[in-house]
Amino acid sequence: MAYYPQGSSSYFSRRAGALVGILALHALVIWAFISGFANNGVRYVQTILQTTVIQTEKPKDLPPPPPPVDLKERPPVQVVAPDINITVPVEAPPPIAVVTTQAAPPPPPVIHVAPPPGTQMSPTFRPDVQDYYPETSRRNNEEGRTTVKICTDVKGKITNVEVANSSGHPLLDDAAVKVGKAYRFKPATQEGHAVESCATLPVRFELHAGGAGPG
């Protein structure tokens, strides 16, 4: 005698019940088509068929539902600051002027040149005194020596002639002044420059053979 476990008998009972239900459903569908009730009973039959098939299938183990999401707490929003490159123009520093200070060369030595010694006025032309001897003084045998003062400018030109010492004879003195004015002189100098100057000149009048002249 065969032995069937208790679980197998219940399984066979369910299958037999399902088979009977399917046969009854087919019989009902056939009857509905025959009786003209097919249009109204199609939905009903489909509902019964789906219900029967669902009931015969073993429910599968569904995965556990996901945990509820708490919508009240929102995750913090991270704000990423953008990279901003700010270019600030930098003024270039002024060029550095390198000033090289060179020692000034020493001044040339000052050579002190002694000025030339001063010179006196000197005659460049001497007139002949005999040409100015007065005829009246000759006839009267008048002789004498007259000193005249002669002054010249920077060019050597005579500016003044006057009697400094008289001979005692007016005619001879006047003749001596004329002799002084007939002279020509080189001007006197001082530190290398021509200057005005004055000098005395003796004029001698004599009747002997030697004639008259400065003395």
Please say if the pLDDT value at position 114 is more than 80. Answer: no
In a domain, residue 69? The reply is: no
Residue 171, classed as helix, strand or coil, is helix
Tell me whether residue 141 is in a domain: yes
116 assigned to some structural domain: no
Question: Which DSSP state fits 132?
Answer: G
Task: Determine the Cα–Cα distance for residues 203 and 215; give it in Å rounded to an integer.
Answer: 6
Establish if 145 belongs to a structural domain.
yes
Bridge-based pairing state of the strands 193-195 and 158-165: unpaired
Structural domain that includes position 134: 122-205
**Both tokens of residue 3?**
């032995």
What is the tens place of the pLDDT at every residue in 61-96? Answer: 667 777 766 555 666 666 666 566 666 566 666 666
Domain final residue pick, 56, 75, 96:
56
Mean local confidence (pLDDT), 116-121: 88
- What's the pLDDT tens digit per position in 154-194? 999 999 999 999 999 999 999 999 999 999 999 999 988 99
Q: What are phi and psi of 208, to 5 degrees?
A: -70, 175
Query: What share of residues in the chain are helix, strand, coil (percent, to 5)?
Result: 35, 20, 50
pLDDT band at 53 (very low <50, low <70, confident <90, very high): very low
Alpha helices, DSSP H, located in the chain = 6-35, 38-56, 135-139, 170-182
* CA-closest candidate to residue 180, choices 127, 102, 144: 127
Give percent of the chain with pLDDT exceeding 90.
Answer: 40
* Structure confidence at residue 106 as a pLDDT band (50, 70, 90): confident
CA 149 – CA 112 distance, rounded (Å) = 37
Find the CATH number of the domain harbouring 169.
3.30.2420.10
Domain count, the chain: 2
Q: What is the pLDDT of residues 26-39, one digit of tens each?
A: 887 787 667 655 45
- Please check whether residue 104 lies inside any domain of the structure: no
Calculate the average pLDDT of the chain. 77
Mean pLDDT of 47-52: 53
How many Cβ atoms are within 10 Å of 128's Cβ, its own excluded?
12
- Predicted confidence at residue 101, as pLDDT, reads 65
Name the residue among 169, 104, 176 with its Cα closest to residue 136. Answer: 169
Position 123 pLDDT exceeds 50:
yes
